[in-house]
Amino acid sequence: MENFENNNSISSTDNKFVQSILEKLHIELRKVIVEQDELIKYSLISLISGGHVLLEGVPGLAKTLMVRVLAKTLSLDFKRIQFTPDLMPADITGTKVFNMQTREFELKKGSVFTNFLLADEINRTPPKTQAGLLEAMAEGTVSLDGEMIKLPSPYMVFATQNPLEYDGTYPLPEALVDRFLMKVIIDYPSIEAEKKVLKRHHEGFSSIDLDNCGLQVVCGADDILKCRSEVLKVRVDDAIMDYIVNIVAATRKNPVIEIGSSPRGTISLLSCSKACASYNGRDYVIPEDVKNMTIPTLRHRITLKPEVELEGIKTDEVLKDILSQVKVPR
């Protein structure tokens, strides 16, 4: 087997620091979140990658709670926007208002000015308003009246959406969807997990009052930014690079896919694979990291042909089939 550990060294990585931060965050999230292992894992990987996350699932699956707990344990600013059909772009980004006393226009900041933004039920508002997030997610800035205003750092958007089969939902614009590093699908908890949730609430747990949950602040903004800089140093062999490119290229040639992933998907898969390596305690990427990240990173970047969707075939199934066909580096 090829030794991926010793190839293409960029610089030494302080992976123990990243591991320590992630372990502490895991402990704190576990005090409140029950069973949602994938939700926690992918959220933390996106956090140290510097990307945004699209969370899909029916209401009541702890999506909002997870983001609130994460912000609290990092002691970072958190804001939530409830997306509704009458929401306007200015409600998200803010606007400039005229101050009668100073006779000048002043910035009235919108909810987008924060570290963690929860865009709740983002697909319940029309595309024009959804697009109000596009610049903030892509550039980390907001443009108002010709002035470009920088957002706080780190800045991360968690957007929740109901399944499209729900009444009153709007499909997200492709340009906005492509800005999410990952799309995480959340399912119902197991019977055992739901019973544990029930017992916690019976014993007095309240998701509204997180101050009484024993949560500890484990790090701050500088620590997260350092984690991101360490992830950038994770080593990637040329064979792994080829593997990533071949997977994404296969989405453009597959007969059941109408629109394959863009090069941004290739870059995102690389970023997620490096963060996954750090998450697993390594400073180098192996094929398993790429495999683990392919579905959450690419599932929202491809479009199946209409006749295929009518047959009930899902995007995840197609991506699994692609993974089974693309040659794995050894």
Q: Say whether pLDDT at 8 is over 60.
A: no
| This model's pTM is above 0.85 | yes
CATH 1.10.8.80 domain position(s) in the chain? 234-330
Nearest to 95 by CA among 106, 79, 81: 106
Instruction: Report the interhelical angle of 15-30 vs 63-74 (nearest 10°).
Output: 130
Q: Which architecture does CATH list for 234-330?
A: Orthogonal Bundle (1.10)
Q: Say whether pLDDT at 1 is over 50.
A: no
Q: pLDDT tens across 100-123, in order? A: 888 888 888 899 999 999 999 998
- What pLDDT score does 167 carry? 65
**Residue 32, C-beta contacts closer than 8 angstroms, at least 6 positions apart:** 65, 66, 69, 207, 210, 213, 215
CATH 3.40.50.300 domain position(s) in the chain? 14-233
**Residue 307, C-beta contacts closer than 8 angstroms, at least 6 positions apart:** none
Nearest to 184 by CA among 83, 36, 17: 36
Q: Please identify which residue in the block is written with the tokens 């308003």.
A: 129
Give how far the C-alpha of residue 259 lies from the chain's centroid of Cα atoms, to the nearest Å: 22
Q: pLDDT tens across 245-268, in order? A: 999 999 999 999 999 999 999 999
β-bridge mates for residue 109, sequence order: 94
Q: pLDDT tens across 265-286, in order? A: 999 999 999 999 999 999 999 9
Q: Say whether pLDDT at 2 is over 70.
A: no
CATH topology of domain 14-233: Rossmann fold (3.40.50)
Q: pLDDT tens across 24-47, in order? A: 999 999 999 998 889 999 999 999
